[in-house]
Structures are given as C-alpha cells and as structure tokens.
Amino acid sequence: MNPYPERMMRLIVAAGGGGDAVAAAMLHAALYGDEDQAVILTYAWDRLLVDPLPGPRGADSFTGLEPVTQSVWSVPAEAQPIAPAGSTLPRLAAELPHTLALLDPHHGAEGITRQLEELVSHLAPASIDLLDVGGDILAQGDEPALKSPLADALTLAACCRIKAPIRLLVAGPGLDGEISADALRPLLGPLVHTFTAKEAEAVGSILEWHPSEATAMLAATARGARGICEVRDAGLPVPLTDEGPTVHEVDLDDAVSRNSLARAVMTTATLDEAEAYSREICGFSEIDYERNKAAWLTTRPPTKPDPDDVLSRLDQFQSEARTRGVTHTTFRRITEALNLGGSQRDELRRLLIHSRPGQYDAPLWSIEA
C-alpha cells in the first residue's frame, strides 16, 4: 500500500465527492509537502454529465479495482466504470500522486465506519483529516439553499464513530452555494491555511476537465479571482472573496451536534435507510433529484449546436448576468443556461476558450464587462 515505507502515510477523507478529492490533494501538498504519501478516501459520486446513473457507485460498478482491506478497494488509473456508469476517479488516479480509495455508502454509516476502521488499522496514518469544500457539512438540515447534505452527513457520522483522532477541515467557506460564508463564519475554528496561486496551479490541469464547481472556485479565489460567480443549473450567486481560499478547523463534535442528518444516519446499515432520513429531516434526497433529472435528460434528443448560435446565446446570457452583478461563471452553468446537454460541456468549453480566450479566467469563465 505504501511504496515509500520510510515516509509517513496520511489519510484524508473527502467528505462530499470528487471535487473534495481534488481539494484534498491541494491540502496535502500545502500542509504536508511531498515527503509524505496520502490515501484519499472518496466517493464515486459524479454529476450526471459524467455518470448518467443517479447516486453513488460501489465497488461492483468498476473493473480493475485493487483490494486494500476486506471492505476497501483502491481505484487505480487502469480501473474502468462498468457501462453505463461513469466516473472521474480513474482519471484522477492517473493525475494525482496519491492512492484513491473508494468510499462506499451502500451499507450506510455503519459500512463507512467499517471502511475507516480497517484503513486506520492497516495504514496506521500519521494524521486523519476530514475535508469538506464549502461547509455544507455544517448544515442543520433546514437551510433553504441546501442541495447535497447526504454524502457529507454519512462521512461525518462515520468519522465520529471511530476511535481515532480526526480533524475536520472546511475549505472555501460558502463556495458550494449551500450555506453562506456569513452564516458559517461563527462556526469556524482556527485558520489552518490559505491556499496560494501556486498551490492552485498544481491542480490546474485537473480542473480543466473535472466538473467540480466548488473546487474550481476554491482554486480561482486562490489565484485572485474576486466578484460573484453564478453556479449550477439554478444560477446560484456565490461571492468570491478573500475568505474563498481559506481552510479552517472545526470541532468534530460541534459539527455533529449541529448536523441533524448526521446524527440520524449514525447507525444506518443501508443507503436507502440513510436516504429516507434525508427526506424526513431535510425534506428531500439529492438522489431523488438526480433520478428526476436523469429521467428528464433521457427525453432530450441529442443535438449538434451551431457555434454561431451558441455564441449569440452566450452574449445574451452574459448581458443578463451582468445585470445581476455576476462577474464569473462555471462551464457547467453556461452549459445549463444555454440549454445544452451535459455531454456537450467539453465541446462548449473548447469553443468558448478558442473564440474568446481573453475571458477565460482559469478555471472559471469571466463575464466580459
């Protein structure tokens, strides 16, 4: 597992998904440098533009995984999702200097707890960090903009159950557009780090293709972007401020005391059970949202957009966005706003960067004044 036994091993749990795994690599480089190795435990839970199947993938959705413990599998670059499933993890494994381990929530918080206990016993890590980009891991469950509480709640619940010291870190407060930085500020503990442009540049090539919006904004603020970034299909406005590239420690027990869903799913043994608690406490399940959206997407016939038409509609979108005070947006948001399919995101991105390179404020798109 550790090809460099003379180096210490670090374990980083990416609380929410693939974007948190990218941020985990940034965090490891910033805090621990190149001397230590990391195992990043992360979900295979991608947006529908990558994986057309709703919800997270388990080990049975891949070929080529490598066993680490009885319950934990690593995802090497050679691994492949079994069609029609999709996953960014194999490509991340190829581009990150760390081991990616598959976090599988299908056996609820009890299953994730078992995975963590086995990894801690197997690795004897020098440190364990639970990392969340944005801060929705601190949600109570009734926040009006909350969209994806289940993944974070499950990892938080599991981390509280194991008998090992775990440090909860929140990077980019408010950047997920679910809880504002103003609301999070009183809940944050000591400042651990502020990402730099150089540290963001280290994952720049990954953010050229990876669809995470929150981690893209984390990197963008580290590189100096400031203003308002419009994200998601709903067009949520997210402030890009000096707080964007910061990383804060949060007391783990305080987080669980605040997170109603995490407390409820603490002893769940299936994902279905955890999802039922999400509907009860938060009024929705993010997997239901993905199911509904996936069904809607299947009714849309594939089209080949005309570049001139796309650029014309982009001009209209940007004009309207400027009236809303928007300075930046993500390629996911542009794709949705122009009513294009998720599979056309990369093609759209190439068209825009080629046609108007001055507006590309990597990894975001600048709304031209």
What's the pLDDT at 169? 98
Q: pTM of the entire structure? A: 0.95
Please report where in the chains the tokens 């997270």 appear, as a residue. Answer: 56
Parse the chain into domains and list their residue ranges.
Answer: 9-223+244-263, 307-366
Q: What pLDDT, on the 0 to 100 scale, is given for residue 301?
A: 66
pLDDT recorded at residue 333:
93
Give the whole-angstrom CA distance, residue 136 versus residue 138. 5
> Comparing C-alpha atoms, which of 31, 43, 205 is closest to residue 126?
31
Give the pLDDT of the chain (369 residues) as one tens digit per residue. Answer: 554 455 689 999 999 978 999 999 999 999 999 777 899 999 999 988 889 999 999 999 999 999 999 999 999 999 999 999 999 999 999 999 999 999 999 999 999 999 999 999 999 999 999 999 999 999 999 999 999 999 999 999 999 999 999 999 999 999 999 999 999 999 999 999 999 999 999 999 999 999 999 999 999 999 999 999 999 888 999 999 999 999 999 999 999 999 999 999 999 999 999 999 999 999 999 999 999 988 987 777 667 789 999 999 999 999 999 999 999 999 999 998 998 877 788 899 999 999 999 999 999 999 975
Are 233 and 226 contacting, i.e. CB atoms less than 8 angstroms apart?
no
Question: How far out from the chain centre does Cα 207 lie?
Answer: 12
Query: What one-letter code names the amino acid at 288?
Result: D
Backbone φ and ψ for 265, nearest 5 degrees, come out as -90, 5
